A = this chain, B = another copy of it.
Amino acid sequence: MELRGVFPPIPTPFSDGDLDVDALASNCDRWLTTGVHGLVVLGSNGEAPLLDEAESDLVIETVRARVPPGRTLIAGVARESTVGTIRAADRAARLGVDAVLVRTPSFFKTLLHDEALVAHYTAVADASPAPVLLYNFAALTGISLSLDTVTRLADHPNVVGIKESGSDIGFISSLVDDTPDGFRVLAGSAPAFYASLLSGVAGGVLALACVVPEHCVRLFELVEAGRLSEARLLQRRLTPLARLLTRVHGVPGLKAALSILGYVGGDARAPLMPVSSAAVDELRRALLSLDAPVA
């Protein structure tokens, strides 16, 4: 397993409200024709909090069957309880994922201090058959892993990295600086991708990479090759679409963009609502400006 490169956090397609396994498989096949280094299922963009346990397993099973050796499959397994997370990690590992991604619990906000989070992740990492990636998404959860907490957890042999969804580059840099060399920091903010790579992150888990995977891979490779001014220019071109897919329109926007490109997008599950037709037009224009293959 390699945790370097570009990993699209893929959405979960539905048909008449039910998980659409065929669409999920065909979408995967198409992503795998691009140079992405692996796939992430059951992340926020996969609407994980809106799926039940059986659906979650089916998503993993379906995608596992498509991802060949040499590409990394990561699955989100966070639940609010430690025991629920451990069970989900165990099932995901048995279904063959290469690593599990564990978002912070967040419901009992005032009680989730550093000690509680260290104990939670330590228990999960002790029990999980698959390597564990921490997952910090303060803007959605209202909880942030402190630098000190991450540093302590990075010493655990089964904690292999972190996905940081924010764009505070001081914090991202310190995650790189204050953890051992093999600990992988993955960027979750596409507008921060170039600067994050320059600061030492190993790659990105980017909604943008579901839509324009080749561009994201190229940005990664340009930085690897030291062709920084080209990379910076590409980042500049990608940022407006990245914002539309996350801050502005979220998962329903991501799915709409995929539909425009001929993937199976479809609606997100309620209570998420479809984007407006004006939003679809805005997304189409942004895709066209990047020469994406609009259907």
Cβ contacts under 8 Å, A111 to chain B:
250-252, 271-273
| A191 x B167 contact (CB < 8 A) | no
**A3-11, A30-38, A59-67, A171-179 - interface stretch:** A171-179
- How many A residues have CB within 8 A of the partner chain? 61
What sequence of 0s and 1s flags, for each residue 138-151 of chain A, a beta carbon within 8 Å of any chain B beta carbon? 01101000000000
The answer to whether A26 has its CB under 8 Å from any CB of chain B is no
Which of A76-84, A93-101, A153-161, A283-291 contacts its partner?
A: A76-84
Q: Are A120 and B198 in contact (CB under 8 A)?
A: no
Q: How far is the CA of A105 from the CA of B108 in the complex (A)?
A: 15
Among B120, B142, B173, B272, point to the contact of A108 (Cβ < 8 A): B272
Q: How far is the CB of A144 from chain B (nearest CB, A)?
A: 13
A50/B173 in contact, CB under 8 A: no
Task: Pick the residue among B49, B105, B232 that contacts A199 (CB under 8 A).
Answer: B232
Whether B84 contacts A177 by the Cβ 8 Å rule is no
Please tell me if A128 contacts chain B, counting CB pairs below 8 Å: no
- In whole Å, how far is A232's beta carbon from the nearest beta carbon of chain B? 7
Across the interface, do B273 and A198 meet the contact criterion of CB distance under 8 Å? Answer: no
B17, B177, B189, B195: which contacts A239 (Cβ < 8 A)?
B177
| B-facing residues in A212-250 (Cβ within 8 Å) | 228, 232, 235-236, 239, 247, 250
- Distance from A78 Cβ to chain B, minimum over Cβ atoms (Å): 11
Mostly, the A contact residues are: helix
B-side contacts of A239, CB under 8 Å: 170, 173-174, 177
Bound complex: CA A171 to CA B121 (Å): 31
Cβ-neighbour of A269 out of B50, B82, B109 (below 8 A)? B82
When chains A and B are docked, how far (Å) is the Cα of A199 from the Cα of B171?
A: 16
Answer whether residue A270 sits at the interface, using C-beta atoms and an 8 A cutoff. Answer: yes
Q: Which of B177, B190, B195 contacts A198 (CB 8 A)?
A: B195
Can you name 18 extra interface pairs (CB under 8 A) apart from A170-B239, A177-B236?
Answer: A49-B81, A49-B108, A53-B53, A81-B270, A105-B271, A108-B140, A112-B271, A116-B273, A120-B271, A123-B270, A142-B142, A167-B168, A170-B191, A171-B191, A173-B191, A173-B239, A177-B239, A228-B228
CB-based closest 3 A-B pairs = A170-B191, A169-B169, A82-B270
Q: What are 29 sample pairs from A and B whose C-beta atoms fall under 8 A apart?
A: A44-B108, A50-B80, A50-B84, A52-B53, A82-B269, A82-B271, A83-B270, A108-B140, A108-B251, A109-B139, A109-B140, A110-B247, A111-B250, A111-B272, A112-B271, A115-B273, A116-B272, A120-B270, A142-B142, A167-B169, A168-B168, A169-B169, A169-B191, A169-B195, A170-B189, A173-B191, A174-B191, A198-B198, A200-B232
